[in-house]
Amino acid sequence: MGTHLPSTEFDGTAVDDQREADAEAVMGDPSAQMVQLLGPDGKLGADPVFSGYADRLTPEDLRGLYADMAAIRRFDIEATALQRQGQLALWVPLTGQEAAQIGSGRASQPQDYIFPTYREHGVALTRNVDLAELLRQFRGVSNGGWNPKETNFHLYTLVLAAQTLHAVGYAMGIQRDQKLAAGKEPDAAVIAYFGDGASSEGDVHESMVFASSYNAPVVFFCQNNHWAISVPTNVQTRVPLSNRAKGYGFPGIRVDGNDVIAVHAVTEWALEHARQGKGPVLIEAFTYRVGAHTTADDPTKYRHSDEEDAWRAKDPLSRLEKYLRAEGMADDAFFAKVKADGDELAAYVRRTAHDLENPDIRSAFANVYAGAHPLVAEELAWFEEYTAGFAGDDEAPAQHDAAAKAGH
């Protein structure tokens, strides 16, 4: 009896062709323009696939999207000010990316699990994370600040693209759990956020290979904000990032990341696609980082102000405000309340930041290993002896000031 050796050149081509056809049915022409429903002029357009999803949004939903975007922008401004005043060691601004984050976050369901990078403050808001808790990590008093099990919103990941691997592994896990549960719980999907710079990391490639191979229920959400710190997107890639999905055999969609309605619609479709067992999706939210990469960055060193001005004209908040006002869905009273709520949030965040207590440094030594370790104990003893040498230094300045005043 002969042995059949599979041919990598011919076997399975029907399956491969079908996958490519399915992907192209959604993606369409790779050179086609991105999905946009709400333009910078505040007028709502139409899309043959995604308008149906946009129609599900009620006037209350739309007002909520605006309120969320305004709240997270006010929070971002306050957090930046806190860093400049020495209350935070670092801050990662998101201004300009509010629609990409709020639209996608609000499209998720409670059972979905989200893996952020370090800039997804808006997504955190949609998952009911206390925004003041985000400041703990940036003040250096916590490794996280919130419990992911309570919100299905994972801790921030500072290592570029590492969370994409975690996300696919988690998606493969819930995929197997859901098969065992046999419909007893609502199906869930995973969203993995990353930036255009992180898309050049090997972790993203490996994640997409595994996600495609195992048909994992994961949505890759790339916020293309045009700048990987000082490296522009056109150096990162020669084609739209969404086109990369075709190489892995799943749909890739480029959406106007400053159009919160389109982002919500595209993400809702993608999550439904993943939950239904149809596999992963790549979304490229075409947006712009208006401010600095972090508060340690100076964008004037690598880009022109006229570029920033051009993108400010595409502001996600102003275009939704135009639409809400034109359609009679919101008035001056609504926008005044949104502003007041934002100021109240900022005041709360400021109070919380000032009240944060520094942790006992001994906890850092205690958390190295699960149990006691002689080397760690030795290092702790040295540290305590070293710090004891500074005892009484706090009194010296006060005594010096008193002596100086007495001299006058």
d(CA 86, CA 137) in angstroms, rounded, equals: 14
DSSP of 16-55, one letter per residue? HHHHHHHHHHHH--TTSPPB-SB-TTS-B---TTTHHHHT
DSSP state, 370? Answer: S
d(CA 92, CA 73) in angstroms, rounded, equals: 12
Residue reference for tokens 């998606």: 171
DSSP state, 153? Answer: B
pLDDT in tens, 101-135: 999 999 999 999 999 999 999 999 999 999 999 99
CA distances from 108 to 88, 126, 379 (A): 30, 9, 46
3-state secondary structure of 270: helix
Going by pLDDT thresholds of 50, 70 and 90, the confidence category of residue 23 is low
Angle in degrees, CA 376, 378, 380, rounded to 5 = 70
Note the helical H segments in 190-250: 202-213, 233-236
**Residue 282 CB contacts under 8 Å (≥ 6 apart), including other chains:** 208, 219, 220, 222, 241, 242, 244, 245, 250, 251, 252, 253
User: What's at 322, amino acid-wise?
Assistant: K
Annotated catalytic sites, by residue?
A: 289, 293, 302
d(CA 91, CA 96) in angstroms, rounded, equals: 15
Bridge partners of 149?
Answer: none
Going by pLDDT thresholds of 50, 70 and 90, the confidence category of residue 1 is very low
d(CA 26, CA 254) in angstroms, rounded, equals: 11
> Do residues 50 and 262 lie in contact, with contact meaning Cβ atoms separated by under 8 Å?
yes
d(CA 290, CA 225) in angstroms, rounded, equals: 9
Instruction: Work out the mean pLDDT of the chain and round it to a whole number.
Output: 90
User: What's at 250, amino acid-wise?
Assistant: F
Q: Which residues of 223-257 are buried (b: 16+ CB within 10 A; e: fewer)?
A: bbbbbbeeeebeebeeebbbbbbbebbbbbbbbbb
More confident residue, 406 or 365: 365
Angle in degrees, CA 26, 31, 32, rounded to 5 = 60
User: Is pTM, for the whole model, over 0.85?
Assistant: yes
pLDDT in tens, 315-337: 999 999 999 999 999 999 999 99
More confident residue, 280 or 182: 280
CA distances from 349 to 86, 116, 151, 352, 356 (A): 15, 21, 20, 5, 11
